[in-house]
Amino acid sequence: RADSLLVFAAASTRDAMDEIATLFEGESGHDVTFSYAGSSVLARQIQNGAPADVFLSANTAWMDVLEEGGLIAAGSRRDLLGNTLVLIAHDPEAAPVDLAAGDFATRLGEGYLAMALVDAVPAGMYGKAALAHLGIWDRIAGQVAQADNVRAALALVSTGAAPFGVVYGSDAVADPGVSVVATFPGDSHPPITYPVAVIAGHDRPAVTAFLSFLTTEAAGAVFEAQGFTLPGR
Amino acid sequence: MGWLGPEEWQAVALSLRVSLVATLVSLPLGVFVAHALARWRFPGHALLNGLVHLPLILPPVVTGYLLLLTFGAQGPMGRVLEALGMSIAFRWTGAALAAGIMAFPLMVRAIRLSIEAVDPRLEEAAATLGAPRARVFATVTLPLILPGVLAGAVLAFAKAMGEFGATITFVSNIPGQTQTLPSAVYAFLQVPGREDSAIRLVLVSVAIAMAALVLSELLARRMARRVAGG
Amino acid sequence: MGWLGPEEWQAVALSLRVSLVATLVSLPLGVFVAHALARWRFPGHALLNGLVHLPLILPPVVTGYLLLLTFGAQGPMGRVLEALGMSIAFRWTGAALAAGIMAFPLMVRAIRLSIEAVDPRLEEAAATLGAPRARVFATVTLPLILPGVLAGAVLAFAKAMGEFGATITFVSNIPGQTQTLPSAVYAFLQVPGREDSAIRLVLVSVAIAMAALVLSELLARRMARRVAGG
Amino acid sequence: MSLEVALRHRLAGLALDVAFDAPAGVTSLFGRSGAGKTTVINAVAGLFRPDHARIVAGGEVLADSDAGIWLPPHRRRVGYVFQEGRLFPHLDVRRNLDYGRRASGAPQDAAGFDRVVGMLGIGGLLDRRPARLSGGEKQRVAIGRALLMQPRLLLLDEPLAALDEPRKAEILPFLERIRDEASVPILHVSHSAAEVARLATTVVMIDAGRVIASGPASVVLSDPSLAPTGVRAVGAVLSARVVAHHDDGLSEIDAGGVPLMLPRVAQAPGTALRIRIAAHDVILSREVPVGLSALNTLAGTIEAIHTGEGPGAIVSVATPAGHLLARLTRRSVTRLGLAPGQRCHAILKSVAIAPEDVGTGPA
Amino acid sequence: MSLEVALRHRLAGLALDVAFDAPAGVTSLFGRSGAGKTTVINAVAGLFRPDHARIVAGGEVLADSDAGIWLPPHRRRVGYVFQEGRLFPHLDVRRNLDYGRRASGAPQDAAGFDRVVGMLGIGGLLDRRPARLSGGEKQRVAIGRALLMQPRLLLLDEPLAALDEPRKAEILPFLERIRDEASVPILHVSHSAAEVARLATTVVMIDAGRVIASGPASVVLSDPSLAPTGVRAVGAVLSARVVAHHDDGLSEIDAGGVPLMLPRVAQAPGTALRIRIAAHDVILSREVPVGLSALNTLAGTIEAIHTGEGPGAIVSVATPAGHLLARLTRRSVTRLGLAPGQRCHAILKSVAIAPEDVGTGPA
Ligand SMILES: Nc1ncnc2c1ncn2[C@@H]1O[C@H](COP(=O)(O)OP(=O)(O)OP(=O)(O)O)[C@@H](O)[C@H]1O
Ligand SMILES: Nc1ncnc2c1ncn2[C@@H]1O[C@H](COP(=O)(O)OP(=O)(O)OP(=O)(O)O)[C@@H](O)[C@H]1O
Ligand code: MOO
Ligand SMILES: [Mg+2]
Ligand SMILES: [Mg+2]
């Protein structure tokens, strides 16, 4: 029997999730609908009774909140995706930056470093942690232009408003207007994970099937093509 | 038309529906509130005025959040509507509510200014001719403020077409249900390389709102000409 | 005051400055544009009207993005301002520009409605008394529309206090430079469990805007009373 | 139907304190600019609420501040012709005229409508909006609008000031008919002594917010000591009756047994008339005048001679037709040796009595 | 300074086609309600732009549609008293009055200001806003506002309609002085024949958008065939000169060698006067009248007798003082056997000549 699913997913996963859903629909005959928005917005809506079946968050903290509130089906949570954190530049010919050598502050000069909100949005928080870990943060903190989300930070760099920015590897892949000048070492920040879970009371067969489908090879290939990493691989 | 995908057309259609319903449903209330603010003195005048302007002052996300708390499944109004089988959370009706509330201050201000500009001596004349307050309003005040009502409605419609923050926060971004044009634009903007889709949608929304604007200008000018006898 | 942290007070002060400057600087232009739209016939009338309304119709993020393209370091206007040593990108002045542009349609609409309500026969009378167009405007039209100008300015101020999408997209969020109240509120809302901080800031912004509203009501009423001779 | 008004209020420029009774018919408020006439009328209409007011119309209390009664304007059913038009700019003339009837839900009355429209000469304007009317046209529509609401009381604030003489002459008889036939009481403001003399049953003279005289028009207007609006307003009002219409266009009337000839009066024989005879239009003669073009002479006895500051004197003459007033120069009084108790002849030109001076109804 | 006006335009209710010259002095537009008077004045002020217009004031072309000239209102320097006030509601009376002077940047003229304010009796209102004025007070302020702008041309659209007689009597001499001393030409609309006769140098009669007669007031107003505003407007205008003021308040004047007595004329001996003598105020006698209270008799010869439809006849009499018109009944004409060529005596009451009928300046 065909079922309809409503998936709440972080907006940055849109292209990959749309593609995977098409595959899943073809295979299962079920119908998948997405609502893409910021993770915090979606989490709050789930807290307030949104009719979502699945939540894919770009933010572990909000998933934790839902889990503590008993709002996700027990045992359904898993870390679906990972990501890398990169330093990008507006200049396509920009020379690579050696983050460990600490010369980034000099390269930045008077310019601005675009990031997502460093105390509120995961990409910003990861970036701040990494820069702090590398001993750069204190020297450039006053030059950080914080955008409301990581895509807006990317836009600041690709339009040239800011010469450098810190974004996810998946974002940098897709934007021809920026070049990756460094990748932050994985140990310089907490692991970047996108947890997924079934919403409590929504663990119908079709929903469970979809969640399983997300971890198939086919789905993994799509995610990787979009620049995400797959944890445990 | 191949230019927009089916989901995008759906967003266009939904935005139109949401904005029209939001505008038309709130219009009578808007006229009433504007009239009360313009012509009546009552305790709580300042409070009502403040309340009306609240959605303008608050960041839209906050308005959306407050709506979610009020009309969500756990919220006081949400429970009531649920019990009546009229839940609006995560429905297009909720999007209309959000858009209507966000646009309300603009509508009320425009109408109120027009009411304040009506010569009260004409209303007095109507009263001496035997018309009670409601009739004076319907036959003298209202026809004279029609250009202002129209301006207010179009302003509200345009605002509703562009409203995003409160809508996505309150009713999320579900295609066919609550994905309005601006939400769709937002979703595209969050994905690398989809700016072109976003721009197409923006152009559609601009075209619609401009058409409404031009139409309202023409209408308003005709009304004004008739009154001025030019 | 221990109620808000220093960074939050900074956001309050900045929002006040940004909104005030945005309102006051755009006011003369708003009056001019409103007058042109209300009283002049010229080619491009509809275009100007559409342009003025654009920020209302567009999702704020799009407006912010367009501002970024125009006034950013690489944008055409951005380069010019840069050369003049007046760059506004990532400055509070940029935040004021964004707020001013977002609020402009509201301001113009309010003022335009008041101008349209002025009896042109009074302006004619002033002209026969020897006053050229500009003087007629300054001595007859303007004093008569002051309540509307005030309404427009307060509406714009309130909108500027709440503006978020365009501002953060254009000038991002640099504490002390461009972190306005709504940006700070937004940041708190992203983090689980910080709703109380967000609410404190919202209350501050509501208090400020309400004070402006009440003040403007009182002023407008006094002006109206003087003209009506009550 | 009568009207009882008592008001007290303080304004910036005026301390208002008036009280008067307006019996059936027309009561004219007469007084200088700024005397408070419009203010009084506004209070009767319910548009201005004085500190203290008692207003009773035809037995119904419209306002009584002691009893806390203040009927809103729409429940007073008073037709008000404003000093400044106040037509509805968004309605054409027809719907302006119809406004009162619709508001009261009364049935259409095509005949009554056509009669008012015809009388006011606004038949050609019915589809036009007020912005396209001339000043006089606007005023005529305003009069029609008030008449057509079937008021129980008419308030007319200088209704005819903007109109030319022939138009006035057409409208005045209509107002008289309303006064006499429909017995709608009328409260009326005018600066024209002729208009007041012709229409008014009662005259209330107001000066600086106070009533300085009130009473029947024939009494108040012939009191030479009361001339706040100028000595030319002084005149006598005679009661008369139409006797016959002659072939040469003159009408013979009977004033207390004295036959007078007037230019054609458009009333059937037997109709009661009131004729204002301005004091400055009367010539006195000691002898029976001969060979004069004036057709009317009335023999009488001089009752009193009032001389004032100026060069003029008002001589009041008792005639069988009633008291007449004649304004002469003091020099003429001396030259003719006029004195109270003497017989004399009052000479009136037929044509000096303007159509606007001849009204219907008893004085 | 003279004014030349030629206009053509089609409106919904009116096909306007007027052309007239207004020499120095006052030109009165006279005609029924809706005739097009305000429309003409608006065109002269620059507020209404007709299809075709040529307007030249004192040699300066204000409008010439053939040459594509259309001066905007603020460059025409015409003082306009509107039919409907149009005071600035946000300015107090003082600043309303001062508006024109400030707009033109002229220096303050406290004496001139006080004179106008005193004449109009608005000294007590200076700090009030228009909403708190009575109808007549508003109109007086509007007149003051136009006078104080130092206009080169005054447009007066029924300026005195809302005013009472004493107030009119105060304002009229002032307008005369402007006409005579400041030589400001005045274009004036009124429904009052007395006002027109007194002020007008030239009368332009307008009916249904066309000029039906124009010329010197003394000619046009004495043409009995032209009475669009009623037969009571007919009268003659005589030129005279003040001779002396007598102790009993009468003024002796000389009209073409004939001495006449009028109630005190407030002009110095030697001043030229123009006196309107309404046709209905003149009595004719075949014999020298005796024992009458009327002080003035003029011997003359009957020139013509016009009889119309009605019961009246207009007899024009050549006297040494000028042509007089007398309106009699046809019956009197028959009874006295009046005919052209006959001698007769015209009898005038001093007091029948109202102050508003006596103006300064030659007729
Ligand atoms: N804008 C307009 N459109 C059409 N007709 C108009 C317009 N303005 C005036 N009219 C008509 O033109 C005619 C002349 O109007 P105007 O105001 O000049 O008359 P007027 O002679 O000043 O009359 P009144 O003495 O009553 O003020 C009237 O019949 C009026 O209805
Ligand atoms: N709202 C007000 N506040 C203060 N004074 C006022 C107000 N309205 C009228 N007045 C004053 O009261 C007086 C009477 O005004 P009102 O309008 O009753 O006069 P009126 O007798 O109708 O005069 P007119 O014949 O000139 O119309 C005037 O001196 C006027 O200035
Ligand atoms: O700031 Mo906005 O106007 O809706 O997001
Ligand atoms: Mg009045
Ligand atoms: Mg007119």
Residue E296: pLDDT band with limits 50, 70, 90: confident
Average pLDDT over residues D250-255: 84
- Which protein residues are within 6 Å of ligand 1, measured from CB? B 229; D 132-137; E 11-14, 31, 33-39, 83
How much is the mean pLDDT over chain E?
A: 83
CATH number at residue D295: 2.40.50.100
Q: Give the residue from E281, E275, E280, E271 showing the smallest Cα distance to E263.
A: E275
CATH number at residue E83: 3.40.50.300
Average pLDDT over residues E200-208: 87
Top CATH class, B6-228? mainly alpha
How much is the mean pLDDT over chain A?
A: 91
Position E229 in a domain: no
pLDDT score of D70 more than 60? yes
pLDDT score of B223 more than 60? yes
**Cβ of residue C198 closer than 8 Å to a chain A Cβ:** no
Amino acid C1: pLDDT: 44
Q: Which residue among B164, B170, B183 is best mutated to probe the pocket of ligand 3, counting the most ligand atoms within 8 A of its Cβ?
A: B164
pLDDT score of D312 more than 80? no
For residues A194 and A80, is the Cβ–Cβ distance under 8 A? yes
Amino acid D233: pLDDT: 61
Place of tokens 């808007």: B30
Residue numbers of the domain that contains E111: 3-221
Same domain, D263 and D317: yes
**Cβ of residue C227 closer than 8 Å to a chain E Cβ:** yes
pLDDT score of B1 more than 60? no
pLDDT score of A208 more than 70? yes
Bridge partners of residue D255, in order along the sequence: D258
Amino acid D228: pLDDT: 47
Question: What does the buried/exposed string (b/e) look like for C14-23 if buried means 16 or more CB atoms within 10 Å of the residue's CB?
Answer: bbbebbbbbb
Picking from D160, D189, D221, the residue at the C-terminal end of a domain is D221
Same domain, E196 and E242: no
Amino acid C103: pLDDT: 93
Position E191 in a domain: yes
Instruction: Look at strands D60-64 and D69-70 and give their pairing.
Output: antiparallel
Position E158 in a domain: yes
pLDDT score of D74 more than 50? yes
Most confident of A174-188, A207-221, E7-21: A207-221
Same domain, E99 and E55: yes
Cα distance between residue C164 and residue C5, in whole Å: 21
Amino acid letter, residue E332: S
Same domain, D273 and D320: yes
φ/ψ of residue E41, rounded to 5: -65, -40
Minimal-distance CA residue to ligand 3 atom 1: C163
Cα distance between residue D338 and residue A22, in whole Å: 123
Position E347 in a domain: yes
Residue D226: pLDDT band with limits 50, 70, 90: low
Question: What does the buried/exposed string (b/e) look like for D23-60 if buried means 16 or more CB atoms within 10 Å of the residue's CB?
Answer: ebbbbbbbbbbbbbbbbbbbbbbbbbebeebbbbbeee
**Cβ of residue B214 closer than 8 Å to a chain C Cβ:** yes
In ligand 3, the atom with minimum distance to the C-alpha of B162 is 4
Which chain A residue is nearest to residue B82, measuring alpha carbons?
A: A49
pLDDT digits (tens, 9 = 90+) for E121-166: 899 999 999 988 888 888 889 989 998 988 888 999 988 877 777 7
Residue E222: pLDDT band with limits 50, 70, 90: low
Position D327 in a domain: yes
Amino acid E231: pLDDT: 53
Average pLDDT over residues E337-348: 85
Amino acid E309: pLDDT: 61
For residues E235 and E278, is the Cβ–Cβ distance under 8 A? yes
pLDDT score of E232 more than 60? no
Same domain, E164 and E112: yes
Q: Give the residue from D261, B135, D113, D101 showing the smallest Cα distance to E330.
A: D261
Position D230 in a domain: no
Query: B181-189 and C60-71 helices cross at what angle (nearest 10)?
Result: 50
Judge if the beta carbon of residue C167 lies within 6 A of ligand 3.
Answer: no
pLDDT score of B230 more than 50? no
CA D343 vs CA C57, D318, E295: distances in Å: 94, 9, 20
Amino acid E225: pLDDT: 60
pLDDT digits (tens, 9 = 90+) for A47-77: 988 999 999 999 899 999 999 999 999 999 9
Minimal-distance CA residue to ligand 1 atom 8: D132
Amino acid B19: pLDDT: 95
Q: Which stretches in chain C have pLDDT values below 50?
A: 1, 230
Same domain, E209 and E258: no
**Could you give the percent of chain D with pLDDT greater than 70?**
90
Judge if the beta carbon of residue C229 lies within 6 A of ligand 2.
Answer: yes
pLDDT score of E351 more than 70? no
Question: What does the buried/exposed string (b/e) look like for C218-228 if buried means 16 or more CB atoms within 10 Å of the residue's CB?
Answer: eebeebeeebe
Closest approach of chain C CAs to the CA of E105, in angstroms? 10
Using CB atoms within 10 A of its CB, is residue D20 exposed (0-12), middle (13-18) or buried (19+)?
Answer: buried
Q: How far is the CA of D318 from the centre of ligand 1 (A)?
A: 49
For residues E88 and E160, is the Cβ–Cβ distance under 8 A? no
pLDDT score of B25 more than 70? yes
Q: Say whether B125 and D103 touch across the interface (CB within 8 A).
A: no
Q: How far is the CA of E208 from the centre of ligand 3 (A)?
A: 60
Which chain B residue is nearest to residue C145, measuring alpha carbons?
A: B117
pLDDT score of D66 more than 80? yes
Same domain, D60 and D208: yes
Judge if the beta carbon of residue D13 lies within 6 A of ligand 2.
Answer: yes
pLDDT score of B146 more than 50? yes
In ligand 3, the atom with minimum distance to the C-alpha of B59 is 1
Residue with the larger pLDDT of the pair D321 and E75: E75
Amino acid C88: pLDDT: 84
How much is the mean pLDDT over chain D?
A: 83
Residue with the larger pLDDT of the pair D230 and C17: C17
SS3 sequence of chain B = CCCCCHHHHHHHHHHHHHHHHHHHHHHHHHHHHHHHHHHCCCCCHHHHHHHHHHHHHCCHHHHHHHHHHHHCCCCHHHHHHHHCCCCCCCCHHHHHHHHHHHHHHHHHHHHHHHHHHCCHHHHHHHHHCCCCHHHHHHHHHHHHHHHHHHHHHHHHHHHHHHCCHHHHHHHCCCCCCCCCHHHHHHHHHCCCCCHHHHHHHHHHHHHHHHHHHHHHHHHHHHHHHHHHCC
Average pLDDT over residues B168-172: 90
Q: Say whether C191 and A65 touch across the interface (CB within 8 A).
A: no
Amino acid E228: pLDDT: 47
Amino acid D81: pLDDT: 92
pLDDT score of A130 more than 90? yes
DSSP string computed for D190-251:
-S-HHHHHHH-SEEEEEETTEEEEEEEHHHHTT-TT--TT-GGG-EEEEEEEEEEE-TTSEE
pLDDT score of B155 more than 90? no
Amino acid E223: pLDDT: 64
Place of tokens 């789905």: A219
**Could you give the percent of chain E with pLDDT greater than 90?**
25
φ/ψ of residue D348, rounded to 5: -125, 135
Cα distance between residue D237 and residue B106, in whole Å: 65
Amino acid E224: pLDDT: 57
Sign of the dihedral defined by the CA atoms of residues B198, B199, B202, B207, in that order: negative
Amino acid B74: pLDDT: 83
D46 neighbourhood in chain B, CB within 8 Å: 127-128
Same domain, D172 and D269: no
Position E56 in a domain: yes
Average pLDDT over residues A150-166: 89
**Cβ of residue A147 closer than 8 Å to a chain C Cβ:** yes
Residue with the larger pLDDT of the pair E322 and B134: B134
Q: Say whether C144 and E104 touch across the interface (CB within 8 A).
A: no
E250 neighbourhood in chain D, CB within 8 Å: 311, 329, 331
B136 neighbourhood in chain D, CB within 8 Å: 74
Same domain, E213 and E272: no
Amino acid D284: pLDDT: 83
Which chain D residue is nearest to residue E307, measuring alpha carbons?
A: D248
Amino acid A214: pLDDT: 95
Amino acid letter, residue D342: Q
Total structural domains in chain E?
2
The C-alpha angle A97, A103, A106, rounded to 5 degrees, equals 105
Same domain, E155 and E263: no
Position E301 in a domain: yes
